[in-house]
Structure 1
Amino acid sequence: MAQQEKPAPDPVTIRDIAAVAGVAVSTVSRALSRPERVSPATREKIARIAAELKYVPSAQARALSSGRTGAVALLVPDVTNPFYFDIIRGTQHQLKAAGYTQLLVDTEESAEVEAEALGALRRTCDGVVLAASRLSDPAIVEAASQLPVVTINRGIHGVPTVIIDTPDSMGQALEHLASLGHRQVAYAAGPVGSWSNARRLRAIEDHAERLGLRISRLGPFAPKTTSGAAAADAALHSGASAGIAFNDLIGIGMLQRFAARGVRVPEDFSLVGCDDIFGADFCNPPLTTMTAPVEQAGRVAITMLLSRIAQGPGGAGRELAVLPTHLTVRQSTGQAPA
């Protein structure tokens, strides 16, 4: 007959330590979490007994005694978007180095889902990074009043943020297209609620006026490859000879649609993407795009957030970090058709 395994013993608690030491449970709690509040003799006695009993404080107990959970949440609109892969990698590496755990939440491009997630996280993490948040400004300010918050690609007064400066490289893209003889450029816009989309559109309009280019605004489109077919069709009907996509996913989808329709790129139509995600240089043809330091943005955001956490409520810290971008020219752009 097989011998049954003995059940694992119950973990040692501070009540067990208190019983052996002959002191109150509250005294043990103070000795372990706020040792300066008990006498040296009592502190040493409790520490010795805790070691003899092999007491291990739970994560929950540590959180209650320190006010910290050791966890930081990262909220992203779409975890399947390769742009966020590097954000996640950057935040993860920085948090691991600091001894923190990362909680990852996919908010599904929904302000409602994002708000619900924030509400649930307020008591389970020490701070939050909001990447390309779809929340309103007041909602983010309200969240930042309750726990440390840092945003990526969302500038709000009083909330620390990391901005990837793609509007600057929008100017580079238009100058590049103008130098190739293009006079009308279509912009395949991103989601209506995207703060980055609004900034990119303003930059395109400003630079187009300076360069004497005509801009056709298309969309809005969901920032997914599947949106590329509709964006490509709209671009061809716009009369433009070149286009700029809100992100590389839309741009890649446009390339696929152009190929299906027999439109040659760049001979018939030139195309520029944005973000330089993994795979942008594997397209046919490889996509001209705006290269961004995405992983660095994740690292900087965590550095700013951990500084806020360490300082506590009302602490001051770095409020803004702007990371430059640049245009990477590949084979999807060429001379305007004669």
Structure 2
Amino acid sequence: MDRTPTLRQVAAEAGVAVSTASRALSRPGRVSEATTSRVVEAAERLGYPVGGAVRLLREGMTGTVALVVPDIANPYFFGIIRGIQARLRDGGYVHVLVDSEESVDAEERALRRLRSRVDGVVLAAPRLEAQRLEVWSRSVPLVTINRQVGGAYVLVDTPGGAVQALDHLVSLGHRRIAYAGGPRSSWSDRRRRSALRQAVRRAGVDVVWLGPYAPRREAGPAAADAALSAGVTAVIAFNDLLAFGVLDRLAARRVAVPERMSVVGCDDIFGADLVRPALTTVAVPLERAGHHGADLLLASLEGRTVDPVLLPTHLVVRESSGRARA
């Protein structure tokens, strides 16, 4: 009965120490090119599995993928980064992280500089126009998260989550509700507005459209003031950070939540259950989104056909939403 060859046998076949053979097969940059080639050839003769890093080196690839995010300080992207990192590590890749700082120009500059230095790019919530993204997808292997480009993308159903939030508030008796939107360049925000417009007609309630706002806590006070001026009883915020800022301002103005104003966020980031009152929000599978994004890119690099991925969301009801005041 045949047995799988051992690393010791590979080392003996190549005429090197076991430790050298291990480095050559797992971290080929740590030993000379000649030694690596000798060890790899010995492994292939014996049928010993060659690792991803060696495969990439032999195929002339960098083993590096770029991940571009709009705001590295936004906790929303932490889970995506973890998911991508874990999947790339399993595939023998590393990633470089780029913060475009919510700038369309910075996003395009990053793509221009990185395309010849990495094997592919994952764009999380890109701000570039659709036409430019299509151009870049033909120039470099590209996967988008929360943006529909070509056939390699991951979408998170936040529009469906926004409708869940609206239905929840309607069930609590709210009839005039504000939506505090995100950046003007946000494709996800446009999808949510479209979904909410359809849901509003079905529910027979009024929605006040506020924004655009930066998806940051500092923008929340302005959104809260606008909501109070509009005479609404509830606010659906573009993301949790914006909702945190809304809660801050309502507390400063001594507006009781949820007795006088209900607040709902989106993303269920770390801290959503720690603010007071704890935030009702749409939970998003961020790590799964990152994992799928990396998986699609690796499949594309290997020449495999890929299909888009759509991930569901769900509403987490906490203390910041309650019955509308009489």
TM-score for the superposition, normalised by structure 1? 0.80
1:86 alignment partner in structure 2: 79
1:40 alignment partner in structure 2: none
1:236 aligns with 2:223: no
Separation in 2 of the partners of 1:13 and 1:174? 61
Query: What pairs with 1:69-80 in structure 2 (closer than 5 Å)?
Result: 69-80=62-73
Deviation at 1:231, TM superposition (A): 0.4
**What letter matches 1:135 in structure 2?**
L
Deviation at 1:64, TM superposition (A): 7.7
1:316 aligns with 2:305: yes
1:195 alignment partner in structure 2: 187
1:334 aligns with 2:304: no
Separation in 2 of the partners of 1:67 and 1:206? 50
1:106 alignment partner in structure 2: 99
Aligned residues: 287
Pairing partner for 1:118 from 95, 111, 118: 111
Query: What pairs with 1:30-45 in structure 2 (closer than 5 Å)?
Result: 32=37
Separation in 2 of the partners of 1:280 and 1:104? 25
Q: Which structure has the larger Rg?
A: 1
Separation in 1 of the partners of 2:144 and 2:72? 16
Separation in 1 of the partners of 2:268 and 2:200? 22
Separation in 1 of the partners of 2:163 and 2:72? 29
| Cα deviations by residue, 1:140-188 (Å, 9 ceiling, x for unpaired) | 11111122100000012x2411000011121211111111110010010
Runs (5+) with no aligned partner, structure 1: 1-10, 18-27, 36-42, 45-58
**What letter matches 2:244 in structure 1?**
I
1:325 alignment partner in structure 2: 313
**What letter matches 1:309 in structure 2?**
L
Pairing partner for 2:201 from 193, 200, 209: 209
Deviation at 1:76, TM superposition (A): 0.2
Pairing partner for 1:180 from 148, 172, 175: 172
Deviation at 1:136, TM superposition (A): 1.1
2:120 alignment partner in structure 1: 127
Aligned-residue CA RMSD (Å) = 2.3
Pairing partner for 2:132 from 131, 139, 143: 139
Query: What pairs with 1:220-235 in structure 2 (closer than 5 Å)?
Result: 220-235=212-227
Deviation at 1:218, TM superposition (A): 0.5
**What letter matches 1:66 in structure 2?**
E
Separation in 2 of the partners of 1:192 and 1:102? 29
Separation in 1 of the partners of 2:196 and 2:135? 32
Verify the 8 A CA contact 1:154 1:161 in the aligned structure 2: yes
| Cα deviations by residue, 1:217-238 (Å, 9 ceiling, x for unpaired) | 0010000000000000000011
Deviation at 1:78, TM superposition (A): 0.1
Separation in 1 of the partners of 2:317 and 2:64? 40
Deviation at 1:65, TM superposition (A): 5.5
Query: What pairs with 1:8-23 in structure 2 (closer than 5 Å)?
Result: none
Structure 1 stretches of at least 4 aligned residues deviating more than 3 Å after TM superposition: 11-14, 61-65
